[in-house]
Structure 1
Amino acid sequence: MADWSPTAYLRYTDERSRPFGELLARVRRVPSTVVDLGCGPGHLTAVLRERWPGASVVGLDASPAMIERARATDPGGTYVLGDLRDHADGRSGVDDADLVVSNATLQWVPGHLELLPRLADRARRTFAFSVPGNHDAPSHVLLREVASRPPFADVVGPVERRATADPAEYLDVLARSGWTVDAWETTYVHVLDGEDPVLRWVSATGAQPVLHALDAHDREHGTGLRARFDAEYGAALREAYPRRAYGTPFAFRRVFAVATRETDARGT
């Protein structure tokens, strides 16, 4: 997939950041070292430093554009280009930390359930993450439906349902001897402003693989599939998420888990 757009992702910074605050509120032990997996443009890595000013914080992301943006806008931070799967195996070049945290990243990693215990092992005290739980919401159902129509289907192929697990499933995977796990879910109802706000929201995240494929086809063949897709998908989203006098309500489910070692990995 082509690289991410930091500008598009940051369009709804406040709404996208709320779950991170809820996640951090459940981290009970003050860390001295933190790794932020999938740090994106660094706006939340900076939040980690503000919350624990005495901690050494490193942001890790596989997107060159995101790391470049993070380094430019947060020059006081430390940002490393790398894959969290390598970090799970101790090959990212980033040391283990008291706290390993990840926000809205693991849903992009195939087989992330099997990866979780290894990621937790990289945390000396706490492993905490949140993932979207909205892959059966109208926004994503309609994405798959519109993308399956001709002429889009021949370009993008089948659109994967990037399923995440329920809290109980994450509890079952992470609850091992020596660990306690807190798992829960929250549904936020964001009020979005402007024209086609749900289209803009999804276009910056879940729809990225589809849109990148259409853009590449348009560049190569001189077609206008991206504009046609935006029109059809946008119309479907406006029907599913009607605008009110106060804005467009957009329900967004998030799933969280915080796994804490009963004894620090260093034996303290």
Structure 2
Amino acid sequence: MCGIVGLFLKDKSLEPKLGEMLSSMLDVMCDRGPDSAGFAVYGAGEAGRVKLTLRGPEGYDFAALAEKLGSDVRLTERATHAVLSVPEASEADVRASIAKLAPEVTVVGAGARMELYKEVGLPTDVANRFKLAEMSGTHGIGHTRMATESAVTTNGAHPFSTGADQCLVHNGSLSNHRGVRRNLEREGVKIQTDNDSEVAAGYLTARMAKGRSLGEALEDSLNDLDGFYTFVVGTETGFGVLRDPIACKPAVMAETDEYVAFGSEYRALANLPGIENAKVWEPEPAKVYFWERAAA
């Protein structure tokens, strides 16, 4: 079944409360996806530096790894995850060093502003473990999973990264994901899980590698991906929504002068400030929606 939430802030004064608001929305979606959860938050970036979000085994010593990677690596630890801030020019070298020094550690996301966290467990517990309510930023997306296409694992949890500062969460099921996966693997795209949502993320990555914009890649998916689905994607400057041509999965949006919010059900939005005055609507099928702010 799964649940999706997304929040894009127009009002800068709300940015310190982004995590608190997103955490509340995620909590409401627990019964749509109780086995695992994840979220991406777009916080402050720093010119010339890249954030690498790492996931390691329980109790992993990220501080020791960061020390081996060099003095210009900054570390923020959150439970089984850690965010490394590294010079943009050093990103490839740092990634290579991580692969050599710590093969048990996975880079789950990267970008100037994006931090990506996901783990097995009740979504409320996952959000609390990573201290989502304390995070600030301009926008974020989240997902609660009820596994139907693959096992309950952290690898199978959403979001899935689709590139620098980009990620995807998905509610639904793709009927042709095995065939799409084979085509992607022939093109050199690595798919690490059996999750059809990772195939969708890989598809967007492959289309963009061929020169398509993210919006164009989402439009292409309407022809190439078969099934029923709702995609919510995060980018450095905003977020987007796409429903399949039948609009089989539930979805609702709300917009005020302060924010734009998405939820698989209205109750995910019900506690947002000013929701009683919001424009509330159901996104149209087969239509790409985007909300963006000027890049910093």
Q: TM-score range by the shorter chain?
A: under 0.3
Q: Normalising by structure 2, what TM-score? A: 0.25
Tell which structure's C-alpha radius of gyration is larger: 1
Which structure dedicates a bigger proportion of its chain to helix? 1
Q: Normalising by structure 1, what TM-score? A: 0.27
Which structure dedicates a bigger proportion of its chain to strand? 2
